[in-house]
Structures are given as C-alpha cells and as structure tokens.
Amino acid sequence: MLISRILESGALRRAVLGLAALAGAATVVLALLLADTDGNDVSVTGNASIDALIPPRSAEVLSQETVGIDLAQGYEVRLVLNGVELPADQLRHSPDINRYSFRPDRGKVVERLRAEQNCVQATYWPQEVGPSDSQTITWCFAAS
C-alpha cells in the first residue's frame, strides 16, 4: 500500500529523474577532468623536465606540422618520429626556451607526417650528466 502511494504521488519518478540528472552531471565533470590535453597530461604536468609536447597528445595537425618538445633549461633530447631518429642537424633548437623542433620537408629524413597516427619518442637528459641518465616520453597525434 505504501509503494502504491509513492508511485501514484510521482515521488519515485522525481527521485529517479533527479538521480539520472546527477549521474549525467558527474559524468560530464569526470570527462572534463580526464581530458587528454597538455595542461592535464600527468606525464607532462607532473614532470619538471618537460614544459610541453608539440603537438599535444591526440592533436589533429597538417602533414607538414612541426613536432618537438619544450624542455626545462639544462636538458637535451633525442627525438624519434614514427621509428625514424631525427638527426641533430635537422632539429631546430631555440635555446631561450629550450625547444627542440623538427618540421618535415623535402630532403629531410621525414618529408611529411603520415596520414592518420604519428608517434614521437623523446629521450631527454640533464646536460651536465649526459644520456646515461635519460628518461623517455612517447606521445601520438593524428595528421591529415
């Protein structure tokens, strides 16, 4: 008898709708917190050696887009793009911000990014120690 009164009064229906709305809002908040951008990328945000990945993880870029990494001052890097090591003489180094970058072009080891997924592996180390104390980060993005 109590259940039939609750169902007739609509209280249960309002409670279910309220819980569904709350679950939906919680899902949106969780999705925003887990978004995969450099600002929320734990491997970048939690790493004092890395300032930014270029392009960011999961970005969509053009086939001639620059790839690289911004490191904290005092670090050097070796970059590998889609399994191809990028020669130091083809990297551009901006020492004021310690950015190492590579732009695919004719005559370079990589002339253009692959259609679809591309992955960069950066092995970086403190200059005073050298590559014997290196760490590695890998990220992927899409090109069109």
Domain extents in the chain: 2-33, 38-143
Distance from the Cα of residue 75 to its chain's centroid: 20
Provide the total of helices (H) and of strands (E) in the chain, helices listed first: 3, 9
Convert the pLDDT of each residue in 122-143 to its tens digit: 999 999 999 999 999 999 999 9
Report DSSP state, residue 59.
-
In this structure, the dihedral spanned by the alpha carbons of residues 24, 27, 29 and 34, taken in order and rounded to 10 degrees, is -160
> Which residues have C-beta within 8 Å of that of residue 52, sequence separation ≥ 6?
38, 44, 69, 70
In this structure, whether the domain defined by 38-143 belongs to CATH 1.10.3300.10 is answered with no
Identify which has the larger pLDDT, 23 or 121.
121
This prediction has a pTM of 0.70
Orientation of helix 2-9 relative to helix 11-33, angle to 10°: 70
Convert the pLDDT of each residue in 36-67 to its tens digit: 444 456 578 888 999 999 999 999 999 999 99
